[in-house]
């Protein structure tokens, strides 16, 4: 994979400021695999995202990255607190 030009390399706070200046208040900034789950064929992902202009982090138990994003989507702009979002998405009982 090619490398980014230096003008595109900036810190997370600068990136967030630019997103907000451009009117983008919601964006996924980072997704990484933390561990395997007890649920067969599932992984535990950590997702860092901008939601309504605030930086949030949650863990998501999902089969793959597409499944993880599909699980997060219903909570975006839903008014549910980040504590509840994290609890539901990282709880194995809700991910069967």
- pLDDT tens-digit readout, 31-50: 999 999 999 999 999 999 99
Q: What is this structure's pTM?
A: 0.81
The answer to whether residue 20 scores a pLDDT higher than 60 is: yes
| Percent of the chain topping pLDDT 90 | 49
Structure confidence at residue 75 as a pLDDT band (50, 70, 90): confident
The answer to whether residue 52 scores a pLDDT higher than 70 is: yes
* Residue closest to 33 by CA, chosen among 54, 13, 47: 47
Distance of CA 30 to the CA centre of its chain: 6
């Amino acid at each position: 994979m090619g490398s980014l030009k230096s003008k595109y390399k900036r810190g997370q706070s600068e990136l967030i400021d630019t997103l907000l200046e451009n009117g983008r208040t919601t964006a996924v900034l980072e997704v990484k695999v933390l561990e395997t789950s007890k649920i067969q064929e599932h992984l535990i992902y950590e997702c860092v995202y901008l939601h309504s202009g605030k930086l949030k982090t949650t863990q998501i138990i999902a089969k793959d990255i597409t499944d993880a994003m599909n699980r997060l989507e219903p909570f975006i702009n839903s008014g549910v607190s980040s504590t509840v979002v994290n609890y539901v998405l990282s709880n194995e009982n809700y991910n069967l």
